[in-house]
Amino acid sequence: MRSEREYVAGLYERLDAERARVKGRYNETLTVRGNATVLVERDAEARVLAREIRRLGVADNGLCFGRLDSVTGEHSYIGRIGIFDEANEFEPLLMDWRAPAAQAFYIATAASPENMRRRRQFHTRGREVTDFTDEVFGRPGDGERGDAALLAAVNAPRGEGMRDIVATIQAEQDRIIRLDHPGVLVIEGGPGTGKTVVALHRVAYLLYTQREQMERNGVLVVGPNKAFLKHIGRVLPSLGETNVVFTTTGELMPGLQVTAEDTPEAARLKGSLKILDVLEAAVADRQRVPREPISLELTDVTVRIDADIAGWAREEARASGRPHNEARPAFLEVLTWALTERAIARIGKGWLTRDDREAWENMRTDLRGELAEHEGFRAAIEDLWPTLEPEELLAELLSSTDRLRAAGASQALYREDGAAWTISDIPLLDELTDLLGRDTTAEQAAAERERKAQAAYAEGVLDLLVNRADHMDDEDHLFATDLLYGEDLAERFVERDTRELAERAASDRDWTYRHIVVDEAQELSQMDWRVLMRRCPSHSFTVVGDLAQRSSPAGATSWAAMLDPYVPGRWLYRSLTVNYRTPAEIMAIAAGVLADFAPDVQPPESVRACGVQPWSRRLPVDEMPSAIEEFIRDEAAREGTSIVIGPPGMPGTVPASQTKGLEFDAVLVVDPDHILAEGPRGAAELYVALTRATQRLGVLHGTPLPQSLSALHPADRAMSK
């Protein structure tokens, strides 16, 4: 024991020395001054060093958690990060858990020892080793890998967020984490199987093995709600990884706020790929021809925009294949050309022919200029081919029965406030962003203004230097420092984006990621997947979900239905079958609910029992609030976390849909009959509610229990405590 304590203490000494060295370099870097190029290089180096400081900063707790002894007598220490000998940078003092040679720590068994003789697992408190457990492979009577560390972890009271499992990764989990597959990996597992934490550790592994590619574009993690993202948000930073954006599907359009909720039918319609036809029709509906000719009085002639000429311009613009706003210049150009041709023919009737090219072109130039300044012409263009924004177009579509009808859409999509955005609107707005494109005319004007501003500033700097030279004595010289002064001034036009990658990516709708993790993926619609595939051109995904827990009317009924349109033949399926969270006593109750609505689905097998039976108590409705308060008060006196789950809208409770992916030591489910009544997926919601508990489960009900919960143990007021 003493030698192990001394070795681990030495690792911490080496860690502290490396921290001090990197922090010193970081502080030196911040003092660098110079021109724009130097400052860009300084900022890049500072970001690298800041990441290294964060990487070294995660290792105070559980730096080293085990040792592997090979059959040849060599031994390696396994830990949260890699640490190398100061004198020999190729000599590992501590092996990163993601290194290939560390895999045996997770998968070696007595039956398959992976050329290992012994695995030692450390038990630590802070920086000190308090004990260790040995598993010696190959001896008669030895069993499989011991469960002491695992059971200690799963039985421990829950804290504020999800913990990493780096010290207790199981063999089936490790094989998924290290799987070498460049496409889409689907990880399916029932409640408590660790699929979320496995996906996060897989991200950490990919960032370790593909550092350069992954850090260039970063990783996106998509979760069902903000509470879930907060719950899992500590895992990757605890593993030293920060170039990750955490978001919900409702936040995939930066700056947009979701404030409303769709009806199930509207959500189903918006989630289907058939909505693409509606969106295209809605855009086409705004590309109009006039019902009556539009007359424009010019200086020497009156011209008319009629249906024929506008229709021709519209067809030419559409034929360009460009998005709506980017095709607008083509519409404008064709319409302008046609109008000027007609005007020239009328003005020059009897004296001007096309043979007189110079006169013809001069007149065309004058007419084009007059049209460009003509308020009536500009108004006509805005009416026939308006510049459109996605939010404007969709809001007007959803709040107008006439526009919905014109686009061939169901009236079930109608709502009074078109701009009351829902989660299901996000993929529609994302699609419209591409269908509409940018207003290139405005962009070009802004670029021209910027070019002129820079030119004017450059002229000012030049005048400054010339004036200074004019006032020099003959013995004076114009040094390079004088020119540097001009460069320093010019830096005001050079914007250096010093934000971290995650911050830059989260604020940029057009950012593309190297890898995307999608959790609770069974809830995503076909349109949601279209958005995410657009965000990751390489189609590198880790998809986590459980089809049995689907509650969204637009969610997945099969993984193939969602993925085959995008990655046919490029997605793999892996399942997790062991429940590390839910004790056997609680899982037996949840399995009864699962059998009712998904009889073909096998519930995950619990790895442990807790010795506490789930209970139920029937109460009058008016006594429910006091019983909930009693539960909250009792649990507050215990160590750990608790939650009260009930039907949507019930005071004092949280809907089951908001608890997906979360876990609590104690759960009180209120009014399960009403949860079941919440639409066709109510049973899935109840299944989710029952499987959030890691230790204790209670059920309050005012009506007779559903048959699927008949195995619950009836409890009086005292027994529930």
Alpha carbons 149 and 43: distance in angstroms, whole number: 43
193 is in an annotated binding site: yes
Q: Which amino acid is at 374?
A: H
Which DSSP string corresponds to 231-277? HHTTHHHHTT---EEEEEGGGSSTT--------HHHHHHHHSTTHHH
User: Contacts from 140-145 at CB under 8 Å and sequence distance 24+?
Assistant: 142/110, 143/110, 144/109, 144/110, 144/111, 145/108, 145/109, 145/119, 145/171
190 is in an annotated binding site: yes
Which DSSP string corresponds to 668-688? EEE-HHHHHTSSTTHHHHHHH
302 is in an annotated binding site: no
Query: Tokens representing 484?
Result: 């540097």
Up-side HSE of residue 383: CA atoms within 13 Å toward CB?
Answer: 14
The DSSP call for residue 415 is -
How wide is the angle at C-alpha 348 spanned by C-alphas 343 and 352, nearest 5°? 130
Alpha carbons 387 and 310: distance in angstroms, whole number: 16
Which DSSP string corresponds to 477-536? ---HHHHHHHHHHHGGG-----S-HHHHHHT-TT---SEEEESSGGG--HHHHHHHHHH-
Query: CB count, 10 Å around CB of 631?
Result: 23
Estimate the share of the chain in helix, then strand, then coil, as percent rounded to the nearest 5: 50, 15, 35
Alpha carbons 341 and 353: distance in angstroms, whole number: 12
Q: Determine the 3-state secondary structure of 625 from DSSP.
A: helix
Terminus-to-terminus CA distance in the chain, angstroms? 42
Closest CA relative to residue 176, chosen from 159, 191, 196: 196
Residue 183 backbone dihedrals phi, psi, to 5 degrees: -100, -130
Question: Please, what sign has the CA dihedral across residues 392, 398, 399, 402?
Answer: positive
Cβ atoms 296, 367 nearer than 8 A: no
196 is in an annotated binding site: yes
Closest CA relative to residue 650, chosen from 671, 636, 629, 631: 671
191 is in an annotated binding site: yes
Distances (CA, A) of 28 to 38, 47, 55, 497, 518: 14, 13, 19, 21, 40
Q: Determine the 3-state secondary structure of 81 from DSSP.
A: coil
Alpha carbons 42 and 504: distance in angstroms, whole number: 19
Residue 620 backbone dihedrals phi, psi, to 5 degrees: -60, 150
Going by their DSSP bridges, the two strands 244-248 and 219-223 should be labelled as: parallel
Query: Tokens representing 305?
Result: 């925009």
Q: Scanning the structure block, which residue is given the tokens 């591409």?
A: 434
Question: Please, what sign has the CA dihedral across residues 497, 503, 505, 510?
Answer: negative
Alpha carbons 285 and 200: distance in angstroms, whole number: 45
Q: Determine the 3-state secondary structure of 568 from DSSP.
A: coil
Residues in the annotated binding site: 189-196
Residues in the annotated binding site for ATP: 189-196
